[in-house]
Amino acid sequence: MSAKKVTLQDLKKIVGGLEKDSEQSIGIYFFKKYRIQISKYKSSGTERYMRLYKNRRAQGRCIRCGKKIIRRNPLTGTLYRLCDYHRQITDRKKR
């Protein structure tokens, strides 16, 4: 997760998102000389991975390596969740 520089207005929006209990505010932010990290307290590894995979999938990236995906599923028209390399080693294992 990369850190973002924010202004005072952006910081107010982030705090507003926290009041609504939104997961959109989770992240690392730089405000002037300060580094602000917002994360869930005591979240399990599974929750963190689910959030990471969800964000990568929404951006059209491979959930394993983060590489940009171009190929679409011909039946549904949606992007595949894995890049060609990971599809080959994960989904198409020889039995």
pTM over 0.85: no
- Exposed, middle or buried: residue 69 (CB in 10 Å: 0-12, 13-18, 19+)? buried
Question: What is the pLDDT at residue 92?
Answer: 66
Per DSSP, which regions of the chain are E strands? 4-5, 27-31, 34-38
Any idea which residue has 């000389």 for tokens? 33
Where do the structural domains in the chain lie, given as residue ranges?
4-38, 45-91
- How buried is residue 14: exposed, middle or buried, by Cβ count under 10 Å (0-12/13-18/19+)? buried
Q: Are strands 4-5 and 27-31 parallel, antiparallel or unpaired?
A: parallel
Q: Which amino acid is at 60?
A: G
Per-residue pLDDT tens listing for the chain (95 residues)? 677 888 889 888 888 888 887 777 788 899 888 898 888 777 787 888 888 888 888 889 998 888 999 999 899 998 998 888 888 888 666 55
